[in-house]
Amino acid sequence: MIDIQQATELVLASARSFGTEKVPLQECLGRILAQDMAADRDFPPFHRVTMDGIAILGEAYESGLRTFPLQGTQAAGAPQLSLNDKAGALEVMTGAMLPAGADTVIRYEDVKIEHGQATIVEGAAVKTGQNVHLQGTDRRQSDIIVKAGAPLSPAELGVAATVGLSHLYVQRMPRAVIVSTGDELVPVSAAPAPYQIRTSNAYTIQAALRQWGAAAELLHISDELEATRAELKRCLQAYDFILLSGGVSKGKFDYVPAALTDLGVKKHLHKVKQRPGKPFWFGELPGQCTVFALPGNPVSSFMCTQRYVGPWLRKCLGQPAFPGAFAMLDRDFHFRPDLTYFLQVRLYSDAESGRLMASPVEGKGSGDLANLADADAFLELPRGQDTFPKGGVYPVYRYR
């Protein structure tokens, strides 16, 4: 049996790019940019007035002038006016072009306007150049503002809009199918017989993928070798990756590894020194399809999704597989077996230190899916020790 470091290496080694696609701006949130975004003009594109008021020539004020005849109004969205009289002023609005011949803006609060003249009020401080956002001072035309590889947040989408990009090239998401297995499972809308349960893993895993921006279809396969083989054969052709849940352990009807092997899927690993999720199986049909066969217990399949599928997907998209999130245990914890333990925790930030703290919410084992709703994350406690003292800092995988 291999440890989680070896398992991680094997999983990440099969990460590959799925190309790029052009997507409307409004659908790009959370996607990974696959092009550079350059400034099509200077930022700002003209000397921009930043206060409603009057525009003058600073020199006139410096020479002692305090009253300026008003010669017109420069609105935002109107072509540039000129201040022809060096001793005059134009009214100007925030967002307007600074009139040619003016260099200084005085806010309405600092002037009194009467009979077509603006007089600067006693005590108002005026500095030449004030209240003007000079052309090109933020960025210059053709500067790269956002580089390829950036995850798209609201900030980058605003930049795309301002440089006129209505569509963006982003990394294509791999096509995924989530396959649940097991004759005990019935659809969500069904009333289960006493010996049945409703399928839940498919929805948990689908939602986790959605949090990472990937859509997935759902499929159910019964516990029969022939059916498992036939359905998986089709999936291997139709999807970039398959997430199976269940059927990977030692049961008489756990057909998943055998069916995958029959179909030529190369096994990279089966069983990892971890709890939960020990029977995790991973392989690929090289260059064609990656297969995560996750243990059926709900906490196991969800934990493996967080710890292996998420990092693999991020690496496929050119992102760091592990974003480097850590949390601090807020009490002593003990775990004896020589396995990496993924402890369910509730997270909070300590108001004094600002640290992210983790409070254990253990639950009743890997079948206890209700406990997932009480926790926020898994804390990765390493093998090779059985006491984890309060104050220890460990990697954390959070799903909320």
Binding mask 282-311 for ligand MOO (x = CB under 6 A): -------------x-x--x-----------
Q: Looking at beta carbons only, is 39 or 235 nearer to ligand LQZAQKY5? A: 235
The DSSP bridge partners found for residue 274 are 340
Residue nearest to ligand LQZAQKY5 (CB): 296
Strand partners, 393: 328
The span of 33-41, 149-157, 189-197, 244-252 binding Mg ion (CB under 5 A) equals 244-252
Alpha carbon 148 to its chain centroid, in Å, reads 15
What mask of x and - would describe binding to ligand LQZAQKY5 in positions 270 to 289, judged by CB under 6 A? ------x-xx----------
Q: What is the SS3 assignment for 76?
A: coil
**Shortest CB 256 distance to Mg ion, Å:** 9
Picking from 242, 303, 271, the residue whose alpha carbon sits closest to that of residue 14 is 242
Name which of 171 and 274 has its Cβ closer to ligand LQZAQKY5: 274
Q: Residues in contact with ligand LQZAQKY5, total (CB under 6 A)?
A: 28
Stretch that binds ligand LQZAQKY5, among 77-85, 143-151, 199-207, 305-313 (CB under 6 A): 199-207
| Total residues belonging to the chain | 400
Burial tier of 153 (Cβ tally within 10 Å: 0-12, 13-18, 19+): exposed
Q: Which residues of 86-114 are buried (b: 16+ CB within 10 A; e: fewer)?
A: eebbbbbeeebbbbebbbbbbeeebbeee
Scanning 1-9, 39-47, 82-90, 292-300 for contacts with ligand LQZAQKY5 by CB under 6 A, the matching segment is 292-300
Kindly list the distances between the CA atom of residue 313 and the CA atoms of 5, 48, 76, 90, 173, in Å, as whole numbers in the listed order: 17, 44, 46, 57, 9
Using alpha carbons, select from 248, 215, 217, 212 the residue that is nearest to residue 235: 217
74 binds, among ligand LQZAQKY5, ligand MOO, Mg ion, none (CB under 5 to 8 A by kind): none
Site string for ligand MOO, 359-378 (x = CB under 6 A): -------x------------
Cβ-based nearer residue to ligand LQZAQKY5, 188 or 351: 188
In the complex with ligand MOO, the residue whose CB is nearer, 167 or 278, is: 278
Residue 313, token pair as written in the block: 């997907």
* Segment interacting with ligand LQZAQKY5 (CB under 6 A) among 42-50, 123-131, 297-305, 321-329: 297-305
Interaction with ligand LQZAQKY5 in 89-118: which residues (CB under 6 A)?
none
C-alpha–C-alpha distance, residues 223 and 221, integer Å: 7
Establish if 251 lies at the interface with Mg ion (CB under 5 A): yes
- In the complex, what is the shortest distance from the CB of residue 183 to ligand MOO, in angstroms, rounded to a whole number? 19
CA dihedral 366, 370, 376, 379 (to 10 degrees): -20
Q: Does 277 bind ligand MOO (CB under 6 A)?
A: yes
278 is an interface residue for ligand MOO by CB under 6 A = yes
> Which residues is 258 bridged to in the sheet?
none
